[in-house]
């Protein structure tokens, strides 16, 4: 996996963020097992709750193109370190506990976790079996 490339795509996606209410920009880049990268930014809405995070934008783009197997997601945002929110953790979890979550400040400064490390004892699709 080319982590710098993935982070670079997340940084670029962040430039597209639509954030007239918070001014807080986030970008994400999702690497699929087929080797494709889907990017996303946060998109806000005047009635606030319809706002979608960058991570879920990227996941929705990928799933709507037929992708369901993911290796990693890189996230970058305006906080010192921008970690995925709880809702996004659950949505990443939907597609696997082993997905690598890269929280990046820049292409050279990043931290890496598995989804399971960020969300231990999670509820997942297998629990409904």
Interface with ligand THU (CB under 6 A): 19, 22, 24, 26, 42, 44, 51, 53-55, 84-85, 88
Q: Which of 15, 44, 55, 117 is catalytic?
A: 55
Is the Cβ of residue 48 or residue 127 nearer to ligand THU in the bound state? 48
Is the Cβ of residue 24 or residue 81 nearer to ligand THU in the bound state? 24
Is the Cβ of residue 32 or residue 42 nearer to ligand THU in the bound state? 42
With b meaning 16 or more CB within 10 Å and e meaning fewer, what string describes 24-53? ebbbbbbbbeeeebbbbbbbbeeeeeebbb
For residue 32, the surrounding DSSP H or E stretch is strand 26-32
CB of 113 to ligand THU, least distance (A): 13
CA angle at residue 23 from 19 to 26, to 5 degrees? 70
109 is catalytic: no
Distance CA 42, CA 55 (A): 8
CB of 24 to ligand THU, least distance (A): 4
Give the active site residues. Answer: 55
């Amino acid at each position: 996996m080319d982590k710098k490339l993935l982070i670079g795509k997340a940084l670029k996606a962040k430039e597209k963020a639509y954030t007239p209410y918070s001014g807080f920009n986030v970008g994400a880049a999702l690497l699929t097992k087929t080797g494709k990268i889907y990017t996303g930014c946060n998109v806000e809405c005047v009635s606030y709750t319809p706002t979608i995070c960058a991570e879920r934008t990227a996941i929705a783009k990928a799933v709507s193109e037929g992708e369901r197997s993911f290796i990693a997601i890189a996230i970058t945002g305006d906080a010192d370190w921008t970690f995925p929110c709880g809702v996004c953790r659950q949505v990443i979890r939907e597609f696997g506990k082993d997905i690598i979550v890269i929280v990046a400040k820049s292409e050279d400064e990043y931290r890496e976790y598995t989804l399971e490390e960020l969300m231990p004892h999670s509820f997942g699709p297998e629990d409904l079996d």
